[in-house]
Amino acid sequence: MQKTVMGKTGFEVNPIGLGTNAVGGHNLYPNLDEKVGKELVRTGMQNGLNFIDTAFIYGEGRSEELVGEVMKEENNRHDMILATKGSHKMVDGEYIHDNHPDYLKQCVDNSLKRLQTDYIDLFYIHYPDNETPKYEAVGALKELKDAGKIRAIGVSNFSAEQLREANTDGYVDVYQGEYNLLSRDAERDIFPYAIEQHISFVPYFPFASGILAGKYDKDTTFTDFRKNMPHLQGEQFIKNLEKVDQLKQIADQKGVETAHLVLAWYLGQKPIDVVIPGAKKPEQVLANLKAGEIKLNEKEWHAIDRIFK
Ligand code: NAP
């Protein structure tokens, strides 16, 4: 697999990374088996994957701990580009977001412990708060970068305006936001600025939580947080499945999996260097890694674009 450079971070990454909210993310998915979670991370690492995305909130620290355990067992910390996120703070039994410089520094120290490492390659502010000026929040991360605790600065779920404020001093390396064929606002709101500023855009929910991987049908039901997602319910679900059917036809003509076609389509966009599909089984990780081998020609890229315009 050919590696690519991730924007101005200089990180050399396999463009197919791994999202780990289903690795120890017990607060998001019921009945997760941690052994399977560790195994899917290990399988990826042993098969050329080097970009791992986690966060404190995935299992309230448990995802980070499990990823840290696998890295220790595989003795491969220095081969991995490890991204994590923080901002959630428990107050009176509920999570709020806190971007105060002191709190972000605390988040990084806690993540370092859970991941059993002395540096984090990419630390994102997971969500904005309403109080902290965004350039001050990012200023705290710049101090941590200078101190060697983190190597690159990211923000996630910031509005276009908050991103600009965060990047006042040009310190933001990576932006992570929701983006997939069914949810394309970022093309208008974030992409132009990201391209101009050489900020790498990491799309989350690349499979729109599974539907774009092409294996759901009208009888599929959900028991986890997906049961509240409008695009997976009722009429909208049926309409989206019809679009996925058109996608499947293009995949069949090309002799590839629908899931691979989707990932390759994202990687054909300027600000996107790496994708982080989630997985619940090692086989899905192995399957997704194959997407890195697929190249779309312009005709194919536009045909997919039109289905979901
Ligand atoms: P996703 O990538 O859109 O969907 C992942 C799901 O698709 C898997 O759990 C699996 O679900 C299915 N799948 C994956 N590979 C497949 C394959 N090859 N064939 C068939 N089905 C396949 O959703 P996500 O995992 O929620 O999001 C990706 C990552 O983005 C997360 O893990 C997390 O790291 C990150 N994220 C970040 C934020 C943020 O606020 N920054 C928010 C959400 C997510 P089933 O097996 O159940 O079908």
Ligand 1: centre distance to CA 143 (Å): 32
Where do the structural domains in the chain lie, given as residue ranges?
4-214+259-297
Ligand 1 atom nearest to 288, measured from its CA = 18
Ligand 1 atom nearest to 176, measured from its CA = 41
CA 263 to chain centre: 12
Name the active-site residue from 58, 124, 175, 266. Answer: 58
Alpha carbons 250 and 257: distance in angstroms, whole number: 10
List residues bridging with 122 in a β-sheet: 83, 152
Alpha carbons 22 and 278: distance in angstroms, whole number: 7
Q: Quote the radius of gyration of the chain (alpha carbons, Å).
A: 19
Residue type, 262: V
Return averaged pLDDT per consecutive 10 residues of the chain, 309 residues in all. Answer: 93 98 95 97 98 98 98 98 98 98 98 98 98 98 98 98 98 98 97 98 96 94 91 95 97 95 96 97 96 93 96
List residues bridging with 95 in a β-sheet: 90
Task: Quick: pLDDT tens for 144-203.
Answer: 999 999 999 999 999 999 999 999 999 999 999 999 999 999 999 999 999 999 999 999
Residues with CB under 6 A from ligand 1: 19-22, 53, 156-157, 176, 204-210, 213, 215, 259, 276-280, 284, 287-288
Alpha carbons 266 and 36: distance in angstroms, whole number: 28
Residue type, 222: F
- What is the structure's pLDDT at 41? 98
Ligand 1 atom nearest to 25, measured from its CA = 32
Ligand 1: centre distance to CA 20 (Å): 8
DSSP the chain: ---EEEGGGTEEE-SB-EE-TTSS-TTTSTT--HHHHHHHHHHHHHTT--EEE--TTTTTTHHHHHHHHHHHHHT-GGG-EEEEEE-EEEETTEEEE---HHHHHHHHHHHHHHHT-S-EEEEEE-S--SSS-HHHHHHHHHHHHHTTSEEEEEEES--HHHHHHHTTTS---EEEEE-BTTB-HHHHHTHHHHHHHTPEEEEE-TTGGGGGGT---TT----SGGGG-GGGSHHHHHHHHHHHHHHHHHHHHHTS-HHHHHHHHHHTSTT---B--B-SSHHHHHHHHGGGG----HHHHHHHHHHT-
Task: Quick: pLDDT tens for 124-149.
Answer: 999 999 999 999 999 999 999 999 99
> Can you give the pTM of this predicted structure?
0.97
Question: Any idea which fold 4-214+259-297 has?
Answer: TIM Barrel (3.20.20)
- What is the structure's pLDDT at 225? 86
- Out of 155, 200, 201, 205, give the residue to mutate to test ligand 1, the one with the largest number of ligand atoms within 8 Å of its CB: 205
* 58 assigned to active site: yes
Give CA separation, 256 vs 1, 249, 263, in Å. 17, 10, 12
Residue type, 133: P
Ligand 1 atom nearest to 205, measured from its CA = 3
- Out of 47, 204, 215, 225, give the residue to mutate to test ligand 1, the one with the largest number of ligand atoms within 8 Å of its CB: 204
